[in-house]
Amino acid sequence: ETQKQTSFLDTLDKKKLLPILLLGSLLLGASGMLCLQRSLVGKILTATYARAFALGATIWYVATLGLMAFVAFSDPGQVDEDMCKGSEHPKRSHKSWQYDRPLRRFDHYCRWVGNGIALWNHREFIAMLICFVAIALVGSVVDAILAYERAMVQDC
C-alpha cells in the first residue's frame, strides 16, 4: 500500500488560519504605521504632529484589536436554556454549528474572526469593520501624501 504524503498545509486547521491572518495583518499594519509612516510624517511636518499621529494610530489600532477580540471570543447571543426546552425556538433565532443552543438574531458566521455574528456581538462587529476601513483609508492617504512628497523632493 502506498501512503499519501501530507503537506504542511494539510495539517493546518483552516478554520483557525483566517483569524490568525487577520490578526497578523493588523499587527503588521500597526508596526508599519507606527515605525515607517510616523518617522516620514515627522520629516514632512513637525515632531509634535508625528507624535499626535502615532498616538491616534495607536489608539485606533488598540480599539480595533479590542473589538476583534470581543467579537471572536464573546457569546454571540445564545437563547436561554429555559427557552430551548420547547420544540420551537424564538423568532429570528437560528442554530449555528458552533453552539448547542440557537443564536438570537443570527446574522452569519464570520470566518475571519471564527465566531457567529448575532445579537450580542453584532454592534461590535460593525464597529470593527468601520475601524478596518478607516485604517485602510488613512494608511492609503498617508502613503499617497508621502509618495507625492518623495516625488517632489526627487524632482528638485
- Mean model confidence pLDDT for the chain: 87
pLDDT at 142 over 70: yes
The pLDDT score that the predictor gives to residue 90 is 82
The pLDDT score that the predictor gives to residue 69 is 96
d(CA 12, CA 21): 13
The pLDDT score that the predictor gives to residue 3 is 67
Instruction: State the residue for C-alpha cell 471572536.
Output: 72
Average the pLDDT over 42-47 and give the result. 81
Long-range contacts of 147-156 (CB under 8 A, 24+ apart): 149/44
pLDDT: which is higher, 124 or 93: 124
DSSP symbols for 36-104? IIHHHHHHHS-HHHHHHHHHHHHHHHHHHHHHHHHHHHS---BPPHHHHSSSS--TTEE--TT-SSPEE
pLDDT at 55 over 80: yes
Model pTM? 0.83
Instruction: State the residue for C-alpha cell 456581538.
Output: 121
d(CA 70, CA 11): 28
Average the pLDDT over 63-88 and give the result. 88
The pLDDT score that the predictor gives to residue 16 is 80
pLDDT: which is higher, 97 or 11: 97
